[in-house]
Structure 1
């Protein structure tokens, strides 16, 4: 359950997503995260480092650890499910609208 607690915190999944392809410095990461406050970003990065999902490289940029990359890989199934769910919700909403009396 600790993983769900961590992943449920605001911005955690976004940070992991933005680090998926390459290491990023603090400012570029902040910009990719829609300019979230520096204090919140620092707090989330600290939590991710303590959880061994993110580390800093030689240049000081943040990158996923092997555990972080593995977590991202494991979330692919959830991403596929969420796409199916969104499609079902959309279809269900369309059916509900069509079923309404005029």
Structure 2
């Protein structure tokens, strides 16, 4: 078994892939890291600045988890999405557009 297979096994832990992915992305700040890297590589410092209040420890933890999952990779000068990470980022675009419509509808509706 190579390192990637071992990592995949530890991430999946007998779960269905969709559940494992949602668990990974449900970690605090994971989606924010994915979102900030969608337009290209960023240094750890730039990523932390773009993400707002994320602590350096939590940022490194999320990066480590996303790297283990094959979504983020280390590149010269920082971190970038892998081809799989880019595909995942694109998969979120319909949800992003829906979220905008949903937010608009909530603002129009009287409470």
Q: Which of the five TM-score ranges fits, normalised by the shorter chain? A: 0.7 to 0.9
Residue number among 23, 42, 67 corresponding to 1:5 in the alignment: 23
Deviation at 1:91, TM superposition (A): 2.0
Report the counterpart of residue 29 of structure 1 in structure 2.
47
Residue number among 50, 54, 65 corresponding to 2:68 in the alignment: 50
Structure showing greater Rg: 1
Moved more, 68-77 or 81-90: 81-90
Report the counterpart of residue 107 of structure 2 in structure 1.
90
Structure 1 unaligned spans of 5+? 97-102
Task: Render the CA deviation track for 1:76-102: whole Å, top value 9, x for unaligned.
Answer: 111111112112212223xx4xxxxxx
Q: Which runs of 4+ in 1 moved over 3 A?
A: none
Normalising to structure 2: TM-score of the pair? 0.77
Distance, in Å, in 1 between the alignment partners of 2:100 and 2:77 is: 35
Task: Render the CA deviation track for 1:20-68: whole Å, top value 9, x for unaligned.
Answer: 11211111111111142111001000000011000011x2410000010
Structure 2 unaligned spans of 5+? 1-18
Give the secondary-structure state (helix, strand or coil) at the position aligned to 1:62. strand
- Equivalent runs, 1:46-85 vs 2, <5 Å: 46-57=64-75, 59-85=76-102
